[in-house]
Structure 1
Amino acid sequence: MELTTLELFKNFALAILLGALMGLERERSGGRFAGMRTFPLISLTGAVSALLGDLTGNHWVVAAGLIGVTILAVTGNLLQARRRPDPGLTTSIAMLIAFGVGAMAYFDQAAPAVAVAFVATAILYFKPHLHAFSHKVKQRDLYAVFQFGLVTFIILPVLPNRNYGPFDSLNPQHIWLMVVLISGLSLCAYVVLKLVSGRWGGPLIGLLGGLVSSTATTLAFGRKARQDPGLSRTAAVVVILASTVLMVRVVVEVAVVNPALLRHLWLPSLLMFLAGLAVAALVWRRTEKEREMAPETKNPAELTGAVAFGLLYGVVLLAVSAGMHYFGREGVYVVSLISGLTDVDAITLSNARLAGTGVLEPLQARNAIVIAVIANLAFKLAAVRIIGTAPLARWTALGFAAIALAGMASLLI
């Protein structure tokens, strides 16, 4: 690998800077035997080892340098063990990563080196938060994550990738891929919700709860408002935002399945999102004080839920195809109206897929998705009125009406 002097200095400077970044974090946290000076030297050692190995044509030089850093890390840990019963391995592992980052910088792998250094620094910095999160995770949550791995890496690859059933509308592997998409999206939001709940208040809980499940969030906070009517207005903010962020979820799903459909869907989604956001902000400004409201959201990656969604998605896909075949455009809209009452994901994904295969026109798919969202709002408003309080229902009705009117107006543009 031939480098000019300028390129060589640039790569060495990058190695030193990335090492300094990691060392700064260790110094700030009271690193026991390596900090602001040691880490840049370790990353520089990695770059120098890579240079010597490149010049001599013997890349064992890099391995020898890594072994040397490993010996230093082990020695430092043993010395710390004399003073502390549990010295920890975090700093030692970080030293090895710093060496590798330096070697990557020399070999002109700037982007991977920066990414590794920043991720490692973030892990080091958020140590207290990660420990707190580990205490929040329950056994059923871990079990559900393992089930998500089963859904993604075991079941998906073995399913046949061909069409079956009436109208050739059922593809087992594609249906299960949608299960993986929804479970993965919901699981990511669920993890973030676990990290921030109880510290960031109603608005953020509403946004994240909507990404996990807007219906489940609505029902949970409807019950909370019933138990404590003083929470009605804050609960309304959560419920409105949960349905507002549903439009973000819809856009992500369509972007994955049929990106071309976004040309027709972006305006309704944006208008409905902004309408819900405006009403939520209005309600939030009128809220006298915020109270902690820990959400009760079920882990979305459980296998039973995944199978149930897969079956629902298959039924909706078949129903939309049949509706289009026998009744034309009106049949598609009726199916969207009915299925959207309880679930928007299935109808969104099915319409996006059918628009991508040419079964539906893009405008038909867009209209059907908006109808499904509006139907879902009506169902959730009825649920809030039944299980919640009258003030919660009034504020929720205002927010949902704004979202629905924005959606209907966008269809006329």
Structure 2
Amino acid sequence: MDGLDLHLVQFGLTVVFSFLIGLEVKTYRRHRQVEKPSDFFGTTRTITFVGILGYIFYILDPTLKLYIAVFAGFTLLYALFYIQKLKEGRSAILLYLVSLLVFSFGPLLVRFPFWMATLLFVTIIFILNAKGMIERMSESADTTEFETLGKMVLLSGVILPLLPHEPVSHLVPISPFAIWMAVVIISGISYVGYILQKYIFPDRGYYLTGLIGGLYSSTATTVVLAKKIASGEQRSVLDGAIIAATAMMYLRLIVVAGVFNMTIAKEVALPFLLFALVGFLISLLFLRDEKSTAGKSLYVDRNPLELRTAFLFAMLFVVMMVLTTYITSRFGLHGLQILSFAAGLSDIDPFILSLLTGKYSVTQRQIVSAIMIAAGSNNILKGVYALWFGSVKKSFRSALAVMLLGVATIGWALWI
């Protein structure tokens, strides 16, 4: 009975997944008019039957001979259909590839956990609907970006495992492996924001620019948006976008802290989530002043995976760790607080990483305080940038809001 119930579940899921993909394929082809109705091969019912055949013939013969024979027969049948397509100048094999994947649902459900077949189903649906996005990416992609990505993969997947795991010295109590791993993780987080900015949402509004830009670089995004305010475009929306970028910075710092030091991440989670929420609420208030949040394509066109950027980040990371070790051992908490404020006036990632991964003569609570001071100081810097690049008169509201968030963050840090 247990076996019967299991087979019933497997068969039912095969039918459901196959049927839904069949519907998706039919919708895809109808919208794009890929095939003429007279010669269309692979209706919703056909693809559903392909999935059922794959399941039935897989469980009937454990040696897989029958399964392979049906697979070969289906391939031969499609080959005959494909020959006719070639005569008409059409060479796409999308339907065949989708049918093969549907044919594999049975074995996947029998041999592997349920999530494997589910993941395949979701992937097929996503790729079928991603044609427009893929075309936009291929049209706008720069060939140098693929070269940069290849170099970074080489350094991360080949060179990284070969780096020593022993600490460099007593001043740098971290290994070359850990240093480069930190660079890879931070660059990866920024790269996600960069891809979302440039390729996934190329026609987004200014507010979405601020949200995604905050994941990539809230400081650079603030500068770009402030320049748009100076040109007189949609002031309220741009003010909201600048504040949203800063709110996203808080969420990004929580993620970074969670990757490298979960204990500290738990400590900063509450205040950073609170400040992020306040930032989002203030930014939404600005949006009410505008009827539309649309805007031209706008992004910070600098690939975070560029080797020069990565090596510079690694160097700053090491310098910050040496400097933090020296100052904490010589000047204690007050020295660390001053250093934190100064570090916030530049790129805060190397400094925060040095706090998360290093070993210093200060308490964990003091490290949390230092991270918050750096974040607050960085907000004050962004407020100054907003005033400088957007003019005092036009960017005053967003600059004031960002600065107040910075002051509140520093105040919380000094209070704990």
Please, what TM-score do these two structures have when normalized by structure 1? 0.91
SS of residue in 1 equivalent to 2:44: coil
Q: Tell me which residue corresponds to 1:26.
A: 25
Find the aligned partners of 1:38 and 1:203 in 2 and give their Cα distance.
Answer: 45
Change (3 A) 1:174 1:16: same
Which runs of no fewer than 5 residues in structure 2 stay unpaired?
A: 36-40
2:378 is the alignment partner of 1:376: yes
SS of residue in 2 equivalent to 1:294: coil
Instruction: Report deviation, 1:159.
Output: 1.5
Find the aligned partners of 2:86 and 2:237 in 1 and give their Cα distance.
Answer: 50
Q: Tell me which residue corresponds to 2:69.
A: 64
2:60 is the alignment partner of 1:52: yes
Instruction: Report deviation, 1:125.
Output: 1.6
Letter of the 2:85 partner, please give it: Q
Find the aligned partners of 1:24 and 1:232 in 2 and give their Cα distance.
Answer: 45
Letter of the 2:274 partner, please give it: L
Find the aligned partners of 1:75 and 1:399 in 2 and give their Cα distance.
Answer: 67
Query: Once structures 1 and 2 are overlaid, which stretch shifts more, 278-287 or 398-407?
Result: 398-407
Letter of the 2:52 partner, please give it: L
Instruction: Report deviation, 1:155.
Output: 2.5
Q: Tell me which residue corresponds to 2:38.
A: none
Q: Tell me which residue corresponds to 2:146.
A: 142
Let me know the Cα RMSD of the aligned residues: 2.1
Find the aligned partners of 2:336 and 2:103 in 1 and give their Cα distance.
Answer: 59
Instruction: Report deviation, 1:44.
Output: 1.4
Alignment of 1:360-371 (within 5 A): 360-371=362-373
Find the aligned partners of 1:391 and 1:60 in 2 and give their Cα distance.
Answer: 77
Q: Tell me which residue corresponds to 1:38.
A: 46
SS of residue in 2 equivalent to 1:261: helix
Q: Tell me which residue corresponds to 1:343.
A: 347
Letter of the 1:67 partner, please give it: A
Instruction: Report deviation, 1:208.
Output: 0.6
Q: Identity of paired residues, percent?
A: 24
Q: Tell me which residue corresponds to 1:253.
A: 256
Alignment of 1:150-229 (within 5 A): 150-226=154-230, 228-229=231-232
Find the aligned partners of 2:218 and 2:397 in 1 and give their Cα distance.
Answer: 16
Alignment of 1:57-96 (within 5 A): 58-83=63-88, 85-96=89-100
Instruction: Report deviation, 1:392.
Output: 4.1
Find the aligned partners of 1:235 and 1:254 in 2 and give their Cα distance.
Answer: 29
Q: Tell me which residue corresponds to 2:312.
A: 308
Find the aligned partners of 1:115 and 1:284 in 2 and give their Cα distance.
Answer: 38
Change (3 A) 1:402 1:71: farther
Native 8 Å contact 1:329 1:364 kept in 2: yes
Instruction: Report deviation, 1:37.
Output: 1.0
Instruction: Report deviation, 1:400.
Output: 0.8
Q: Tell me which residue corresponds to 1:9.
A: 8
Indicate which of 385, 389, 392 corresponds to 2:391: 389
Instruction: Report deviation, 1:17.
Output: 1.0
1:320-372 C-alpha deviation (Å, 9 max, x unpaired): 11111111112222222122211121122221223xx5754221111111111
Instruction: Report deviation, 1:77.
Output: 2.7
Find the aligned partners of 1:276 and 1:235 in 2 and give their Cα distance.
Answer: 14
Change (3 A) 1:277 1:327: same
Instruction: Report deviation, 1:262.
Output: 2.1
Letter of the 2:397 partner, please give it: W
Please, what TM-score do these two structures have when normalized by structure 2? 0.91
1:248-304 C-alpha deviation (Å, 9 max, x unpaired): 110111111011112211111112101211221111212354341322311111111
